Structure formats: C-alpha cells, structure tokens
Structure 1
C-alpha cells in the first residue's frame, strides 16, 4: 500500500514543473485549490475531482506569424493543432504523475458540458484562463484572454487536478492594460467585447465561419491580434 505522506514529501512543485516542461509545455504554474472558492458552484476543481489539492496549469506557445496571414486558414490550422498538442500533453503528464503515485485528472477545454443554446454560451469543466491567472501565469486583459509576460496571449492552455498539496505560485497583480488602451474593444467588429466580459453569441456568430467547401474556420481574431501586448509584456 502506498504511503500518501511519503508521496507528498517526494512530489513537490519543482518536480511537477520539471515534468510538465520536459513533456513539452512552454509555461507552467500551480494554484492551491482554495483559490477556486471564488469560482461559480459546479465549476470548481473539487466539483469535478473531490480529492483535488492543487491545480497544475500549463501553456503551449503558438506562432505569431498566423496573425499576419491574409488567409484565415493558417490561424485555424494552428488553433486546431495547438489544441491537439495540449490534449496530448495533458495525457502524457497525467500518466507521468501517476507513475509517481499522484492522481492527476486532465481538464480539457473542449467539449463543453454546459451549453446555453439561446445565448450560445459555453463553459468548460473549468475556466482555464482563470486557472492560469490563479496559478500566477499572467493576467486577464480587457480582451478577456489570459496574457502572460513571456508570450502574451499567444498560448493554448491545459490543466490537471492533482491530489497532493503543492506550493502555489504568487498571483500576478500587475495591470497589463493601460487605462487609455481599448484596442480590443474598439476593434471588435461584432461589438461582443466590453470591459471585463464578452457576449459569446455576438462573438461566435461573427467569428465562426467556413470555407466555400464547408470546412470550419475562425474568421476573426482581432481581440488577440490588435493587443499591443499580444506577444509579451514587462512585469516591472
């Protein structure tokens, strides 16, 4: 029988981060489960995995070049590929942690279990951008995207719920968005963005399109593109 106290001594935040980065992630942060008490009921880590003690959040960088293409197909391709890479990372990291006798539950961003057809509002099992914020990886900008100092908003997020307490990273308190900058809001063609939120119906109706042949593509990503901190920002 595994001694759980011994496991807790052997598996610490440094080891977990080393494993996550070695698996291929570009960033990793850790949040204690109590930080999620502010989340809506039903969307907290313990609602999904009652034994959760810590939340491990990681990110994969995506190339900035896709923002400059005159075709939306490269952006759509990279988004799909980044999602698959994050899902694979979640699988690989969970297996590696379980070899260390740590239960690790992957939390995919899709598919949605919650969907409001009328408002076209979808919610993941856990809000990964808020998880990233609570894990000290970055801040949520006016474009409602998690923005990290290293890579700005050019990231795809993943997370795992683990049953061991790990040292949490400090939450960033920097205000990345200047008071005068409203680039994402004023350049949103659907009018979906407002300071602090997004109308998902307006956003989805405008941004989700297809090719002539019917293949799904993303046709608008201005909120990511026009951000002056889209590729990173200074924390000092």
Structure 2
C-alpha cells in the first residue's frame, strides 16, 4: 500500500492505493513455445485479476465502511499512440506495484519479485482509507546481467525502455481464426531468477 497524489486525478478523494498480486501463469507454460496456449492463458489470467480486484473492492467497502475503486488491469485505457504502438493505462500498474513494495523493475522493464520472479500480474484498488505504507521491495535484477537485452531478437530494449513498436510487432500475433498468440517472451525466460530467488 502507498499514498501518492498522482492517483487523485482519477478520484480526488483517493488517499491510498492497495495493490495486490498473484502469479500470472503456471510455470509450466513458460516451457512451451510461446504462442496459442500462452496467449490464451495470459488473457485468461487478466480477466481473473479484474474479478479479484472488483470483488476485493466490494469486500473492503463492506468490512471497513469506506469507498474503494477497482482499477482495470489492462483494458480499457484512453491513451494510444498508433504510430509508436504505445498505450498508457489509467495508472501505471508496474510503478504502483513498486511504490507498494511488491517488486522492482528489471533492465527489461518487467516487474521483478523475490518470491515469484517476473511471473506477476498486478491489480490495484484506490481507497479513501487512511493506511500505513509498506516498505519498498529489494531489486533482484542482477547488476552485471544483460541477457534480456542481448537476447531480444528485435533489439527492443534500449536505454532502460522498451520500444513498443518493435516489441509488439514481434511478440503478439493472431491465428487465422483470430485467436491471440504470444510469439515471443524471451525477455522473461532468459532472466536467471524468472521464478524468484533460489528457484
């Protein structure tokens, strides 16, 4: 949990953000060629997280007599740069997770957690409760490791950022029937502690 003013443009009474996380996908899916099955369950996990966030906001309101606002995990969002293929959510889930003490950013800009590695999906609930902030999380990104940058087939990781046009065009696709696929997740799989410390 953390207190930040930049969420007040969504809701002016917001005092704190509660961020929750869960393992995004079963580890076995990272052993497959990243295409139809990975893409299907990646989308499935996003819808589950939205339900957890929605139900969590209602429980918080009922139990603690306050107002809570569930934030959508991924879609919808208003900002979209068609040329750069770059979107921005209503709030940045990764940066929210960082200040909530859930993880830190790796060189590939993925969120890293000591227990779960980079297999995380983040949800957030805005609330008007007065809460105590959590401590920041240690960064498990290995200082001298550059595997994610060196192994990116389209060199999308540049200067601490991901060039979304390069990444999206390489990573995401569809079958002939229109099912989503994930064709590349090398930046996740080459990370030495992708499942967390000592996994």
Q: Point out which structure has higher relative CO (alpha carbons under 8 A, 6+ apart).
A: 2
1:97 to 18, 40, 60: 60
Shift of 1:130: 0.6
- Paired position in structure 2 for 1:50: 12
Distance across 2 between alignment mates of 1:209 and 1:47: 34
Distance across 2 between alignment mates of 1:230 and 1:195: 22
CA gap of 1:194–1:131, structure 2 versus 1, over 3 A, is same
Shift of 1:71: 5.3
1:215 to 158, 179, 192: 179
* 1:60–1:82 CA contact under 8 A, matched in 2: no
- Paired position in structure 2 for 1:181: 145
Give me the TM-score of the superposition, normalised by structure 1: 0.78
Query: After superposition, what is the alpha-carbon deviation per residue over 1:27-74, rounded to whole angstroms, capped at 9, x for unaligned?
Result: xxx11225xxxxxxxxx3111111111110111212111111135222
Structure 1 stretches of 5 or more lacking a match? 1-29, 35-43
Of structures 1 and 2, the larger Rg is shown by 1
- Paired position in structure 2 for 1:191: 155
Number of matched pairs: 195
Query: After superposition, what is the alpha-carbon deviation per residue over 1:72-118, rounded to whole angstroms, capped at 9, x for unaligned?
Result: 22211221111011000011011111213211111112122111111
Calculate the aligned-residue CA RMSD, in Å: 1.4
Larger helix fraction of residues: 1
Q: Tell me which stretches of 4 or more aligned residues in structure 1 moved more than 4 Å.
A: none
Query: After superposition, what is the alpha-carbon deviation per residue over 1:103-142, rounded to whole angstroms, capped at 9, x for unaligned?
Result: 1111112122111111111000000011000001111101
Give me the TM-score of the superposition, normalised by structure 2: 0.92
Range moving further from structure 2, 101-110 or 154-163: 101-110
1:31-50 map, 5 Å: 31-34=2-5, 44-50=6-12
